[in-house]
Amino acid sequence: MTGTTFTYLVIAEDGTSHEHHARLRTGGPDDLLRRTVGGWPQTLTLPDPDLYAWRDGDGGPTARQPNPVGSRLVADLGGRPLPIVGPIVITGRRGSSTTSLTDTQVAALLAALVQCR
């Protein structure tokens, strides 16, 4: 069983970003998100109905580092401008389901990140 490829973008606390392609063998991306954000994934509201932004919902008490680049990206995408700590994950979205990013979405997000640095 090969599984499906799930594409997502991670913005680390140091401002670096990485496009990831993971094989999801069973179920959805919940475990992947939990491992990537380092805790319980919490969505950050974005007006784009095709994108989700995720952070560690327990980020404050765990003394994670601020993520100014990720915070600015979320604000530039129309999310609430607030200081975010820890890594931020951007995924695709279809209705209330988390989906893989498309190549077009990845290219647009990487271009937007240039303005955030």
Q: How far is CA 95 from CA 41, 50, 92, in A?
A: 18, 8, 10
Domain containing 46 equals 4-116
Residue 3 buriedness (CB in 10 A; 0-12 / 13-18 / 19+):
exposed
**Per-residue model confidence as pLDDT tens digits over 60-94:** 556 788 999 999 999 999 999 888 999 999 999 99
The number of domains in the chain is 1
Q: Identify the pLDDT of residue 60.
A: 57
- CA–CA separation, 98 vs 7, rounded Å? 11
19 token code pair: 């496009």
State the residue for tokens 């190549």: 103
What's the whole-model pTM score? 0.91
